[in-house]
A and B are shown apart, each in its own frame.
Chain A
Amino acid sequence: MKPFIKFFSSLELAIACMVLGLILIFIGTLDQVNLGIHGATERYFYTFFVYWNIPNTEIAIPYFPGGYTLGFVLLTNLVTALFVRFKYSWKKVGVLMVHFGVITLLLGELITSMMQTDSAMIIDEGSSSNFSEDRQITELAIIDHSHSSETDRVYAFPQTMLEAKQDARHEDLPFTVSVNQYMPNALIQRRDENAPAEALIANKGLGLQVYAKPIPKTGKMDDVNRTTAMLTIFDDSGQVVGTWLASLGFTAQEFTFEGKRYSLEIRRKRYYYPFEIALIDFSHDRYLGTNIPMNFSSDIKLTHEERGEEREFLIYMNHPLRYNGLTFFQSGFANEDTTTILQVVSNPGRHLPYISCILIFAGLTVQFGQGLFSFAGRRAKKP
């Protein structure tokens, strides 16, 4: 046990982690040119190992520790060192603070990477919204229009079910949706004589006019991954109702089953809230005589009926709305400045970096301040 603890608390291990981290961050940054920021983050930082895919095979060989591995080892190293190696005295208080700060920082990033959700709420001037859409994750929505005259009933199935080609089934639905084919990203093309054989199985809806060609997933900021799936619906007796092609960006495709109207679509995963946000006005100022944006702002009204809350708020750059554990940021705009795009972030770990910033700043100042004083003292003693 002893050599084990010694190894895990050693300074050598800390330095090794830092050197490996340095290399990992460097190659990860370089690969952002190919994968985009999100793609590279998933491949290098939010992973235990960085894999190399042998070309033309499905075999992936881990060749470098990923961000999680290095983070965990460094965290273990720090914590064991705090118990085993660190000397607790007033002289060391600066060093201790810094290392507690680093631990907080690592934990904060861990929580963020696992629990942060990031979605967009899009509101037109004069209308309101009570949901936001995820930027990355999609879902399969089956909508029952016959439920009542005013509202539809929506059955949403997560993207992971599509990925695993799991059948989508719900006790209130009289049919089962099975996934024939799943594409994380696709190029939509007109269905003509060049269309491959597997595209021809679509016999309902938009799949009659177009087909999807699988392309690699992109992690670039401005590119969209068009999640696409070939879906076959079976009735309860196992009879085929039809096969649809669904893709992110398609309008909902309607069909009738046993006299009831339904539609299906792949859409961005939605988060619904118990409150509503209405956009009163969006403004976008530019510097005189230029196209450089000077300010964007959304004048909004938040209504929470259950709590009987209603208030107006101006969201603008560096001035988000914080409500119910969520933060609403001004992120973009559309439709000639009449639609606002608010970024909705929920991150339970968001306060940790503030704590670590204070700890590290104070710790480093104390530590180096001590060094500076003793240096000045030595110089003063010299003749």
Chain B
Amino acid sequence: MKKRLPAIIAVSFLLLYFISNYMKQSPRTEIDYTTFGNTPVHLNGRIQPLDSVARNALLGIRYKRSFLNDEGKKTSAIVWLAEVMMRPDLAHERPVFRIQDEDIRSLLKLPKKPSTRSKVMIALVGPGTEHFYFSFNEIAPSLKVISEQAQKASELEDAQRSRFQKAIIQLARALSNYTGLTQSLHHGQVASFSQEVKDLEAFAPEGIRAVNNRQIGADYDEETFNQMMSIGFLYQGFEQSSNLLTLPTIDSNGEFEWNKTSFLLRQVLSQGQASEIVRSYASVVDAYRIEDAAAFNENVLALHADLKAVDPSLVSDAGVEQLFNFIEPFYIAAAGYVMAFLAVIISWVRWPDRLNQAAFAIVCACAVIHTVGIIFRIYIIGYAPVINLYSSAVFVGWGAVLLAIILEALYKNSIGNATASIIGFSTLLVAHHLSTTGDTLEMLRAVLDNNFWLATHVIIITLGYSATFLAGSIGFIFILMSVLSNRIDKGIARTLGNMVYGIICFATLFSFVGTILGGIWADQSWGRFWGWDPKENGALLIVIWNAIILHSRWGGFAKTRGIMMLAIFGNVVFSWSWFGTNMLGIGLHAYGFMDEAFTYLAAFMLLQVMVIAIGAIPTRFWKSQIG
């Protein structure tokens, strides 16, 4: 028991962190934002809870999934979204638009803001890293300039756009998304939505008569007709600016049909009244506007009951996604990997066995959370786990962590823990930076929409990537540790050499078979087995490199040190195939073009080459004697 104590404490600590993070997600207000956030709507081709809409929208505007409330406290995105949709006048005052580009700030003549950071912070993180936030009202006078500039920029190809042009396109997109949201539940031209619905229902028969009479040339009331026309115009604008589909119905084929809130006018005109869902939405909006928390909460529940009447799984499925948002599994896992890494580092100095056990326990716990996150994503989107660059980052990390756990369980030499925690954290960090473009749960284009190949080719090749990265990381740690410390001896060196060899065998198998399966998919889908597309070439590079390592070992050209150095270069090849090929922006696989990431990629590659160079120092200068 006493031996396991550090492990138990460490895992409990992670668990506490998990729970406290979960608790933070529900704002402690009279208004029940959590239930409101569970409301299902249709956006980006899929049903999702308002909570996800809020997080992704805010991410595209503020580059964070939360905002600061009036007291400067970090607050959930759903609180902001509620205000945007129901009280845009208040939301327009919130400084949530992050504008980093200096040229845009001066073009829009935006006010200079006092620094929110202390001098110490600026000295620490460097000047120029400060974030600048502006409210919609501050930007509003320049909307025309922004749309003109964005129009001009969008006529160019992405690669030819300047930094300013890229930023202005992004800002224009954020603004259009934002104004769309302000028009998604109500057009805001009258104070009470419920009253408007009632008035419309009362007026409809008279209005229809006036329009019909005019059409057939009979007598009609001019004023009623004009009123009808202006309602039509109002709703036409409402329809065009809104970007959420809020009203589900089941059509005669038993299939879902989704409409925007503005569809209520057609309901009233054709059936004489608006649907229950519309009425509930209207009551929710009204209660929010008069700040009646009790009525708001009650009406949100009524709205959910109406939605469940259409299909019971609507609300519960949205609830699953909201739960996924709340537990933030990848964030928790990333934090846990850092904890594990610290434990490993300390274990090299003190309490080697117990702390390493604790680290192993945390890594395993993180792997479980990591897995849970992946399962959530599969359940929500209904595709195999890797559908875009973001999910490939999550999955590469996951695969490598699992392999490293197996190594640690076999060898118990803390190297498995060290690599698991480094790879787990770094891949989730990369994933986090890839997620800033918005919703990572996206629908797949027709050509990729095939779960059989997603589950075979994509998964197998991604596991091949994982293993290549893991082998390289072990090589990386081995070289640094044996040059800089005396912890590695002949026996450990041989063990590590065997570990890396085993992983490279695995990597070769998976990357080879995965690559050929990709070719077969291509042959099945568009008639060529191999098209020399950058991503295909990248995958082939990994296969060839792994084959080179294996043949060098079999031919006796490389011993432990050589294999390690070759494996580290595998990281360069791997990162090129994974990211570099996408940066070229050509071919069928160019699904994620990033240019800022190029610096990081180059830095990563340079670091690997530097460690290889360190490994080239003659062993007599190394602190460890590896034989």
Interface residues of A, Cβ cutoff 8 Å to B: 11-12, 14-15, 18-19, 21-22, 25-26, 28-30, 32-33, 36-37, 40-41, 45, 105, 108-109, 112, 116, 118, 221, 287-290, 292-296, 317-318, 320, 327, 329, 331, 343, 345, 347, 350, 353-354, 356-357, 360-361, 364-365, 367-368, 371-372, 375, 379
Contacts and interface: CB of A to CB of B under 8 A. Distances in A.
A28 B537 contact: yes
B526 A112 contact: no
Contacts of B44: 287, 289-290
Nearest to A357: B516
Contacts of B534: 29, 32, 37
A340 B410 CA distance: 57
Nearest to A353: B529
Contacts of A40: 532
Contact of A294 (B449, B512, B545): B449
Residue in B509, B532, B548, B557 whose Cβ sees the most chain A Cβ within 10 Å = B532
B527 A29 contact: no
A109 B530 contact: yes
B584 A33 contact: yes
B519 A353 contact: yes
Contact of B554 (A11, A45, A345): A11
A40 B517 CA distance: 24
28 contacts: A15-B557, A18-B548, A18-B551, A22-B544, A22-B545, A22-B548, A25-B537, A29-B537, A32-B532, A33-B584, A36-B586, A37-B534, A112-B530, A118-B527, A289-B42, A289-B45, A294-B443, A294-B446, A296-B446, A317-B446, A317-B525, A353-B529, A357-B516, A360-B513, A361-B509, A361-B513, A371-B505, A375-B502
The 10 closest A-B pairs by CB, nearest first: A287-B45, A345-B527, A357-B516, A364-B509, A11-B555, A290-B45, A368-B505, A317-B446, A41-B532, A293-B446
B45 A288 contact: yes
A15 B548 contact: yes
A368 B45 contact: no
A368 B506 contact: yes
Given A22-B548, A360-B513, A368-B509, A317 B528 contact: no
B45 A292 contact: yes
Contacts of B498: 375
B450 interface: yes
A194 to B, nearest CB: 27
A364 B447 CA distance: 30
B584 A29 contact: yes
A116 B528 contact: yes
Nearest to B523: A350
A364 B513 contact: yes
B529 A112 contact: yes
Given A22-B545, A343-B526, A365-B509, A37 B245 contact: no
Interface string B509-545: 1001100110110011111111111100110110011
The size bracket of the interface on B is 35 or more
Contacts of A295: 446, 449
B186 to A, nearest CB: 19
A25 B540 contact: yes
Contacts of B258: 288-289
Interface of B: 42-46, 243, 245, 258, 410, 442-443, 445-447, 449-450, 453, 498, 502, 505-506, 508-509, 512-513, 516-517, 519-520, 523-534, 537-538, 540-541, 544-545, 547-548, 551-552, 554-555, 557, 573, 576, 581, 584-587
Contacts of A30: 584
A292 B46 CA distance: 12
B532 A45 contact: yes
Nearest to B581: A29
B298 to A, nearest CB: 30
Contact of A37 (B509, B513, B531): B531
Given A11-B554, A22-B573, A371-B505, 9 more contacts: A22-B545, A29-B581, A41-B532, A289-B258, A292-B445, A320-B524, A353-B519, A356-B516, A367-B505
B545 A105 contact: no
Contacts of B505: 364, 367-368, 371
Contact of A329 (B243, B527, B555, B584): B527
A116 B529 CA distance: 11
A371 B498 CA distance: 11
B176 to A, nearest CB: 15
Contacts of A357: 513, 516-517, 520
Contacts of B584: 29-30, 32-33
A40 B508 CA distance: 27
Contacts of A318: 447, 450, 453, 524-525
Contact of A360 (B512, B524, B532): B512
A21 B543 CA distance: 11
Contacts of B554: 11
Contacts of B552: 15
A221 B231 CA distance: 49
Contacts of A293: 445-446
B525 A329 contact: yes
Contacts of A364: 505, 508-509, 512-513
Contacts of A350: 523, 529
Contacts of B551: 11, 14-15, 18
Contacts of A292: 45, 442-443, 445
Nearest to A344: B527
B540 A287 contact: no
A108 B127 CA distance: 57
B526 A331 contact: yes
Nearest to A364: B509
Contacts of A118: 527-528
Given A32-B584, A37-B532, A289 B43 contact: yes
B555 A12 contact: yes
Contacts of A21: 544
Contact of A25 (B446, B541, B547, B557): B541
B245 A289 contact: yes
A69 to B, nearest CB: 16
A66 to B, nearest CB: 13
A367 B528 CA distance: 30
A28 B532 contact: yes
A364 to B, nearest CB: 4
A321 to B, nearest CB: 11
Nearest to A109: B530
Contacts of B508: 364
Contact of A327 (B442, B517, B527, B540): B527
Contacts of A368: 505-506, 509
Contacts of A287: 44-46, 443
A22 B506 CA distance: 20
B127 to A, nearest CB: 35
A375 B503 CA distance: 13
A197 B396 CA distance: 62
B445 A288 contact: no
Nearest to A113: B530
Contacts of B557: 12, 15
A109 B528 CA distance: 10
Residue in A288, A295, A364, A367 whose Cβ sees the most chain B Cβ within 10 Å = A288
A375 B512 CA distance: 23
B250 to A, nearest CB: 14
A329 B526 CA distance: 6
Contact of B447 (A29, A37, A105, A317): A317
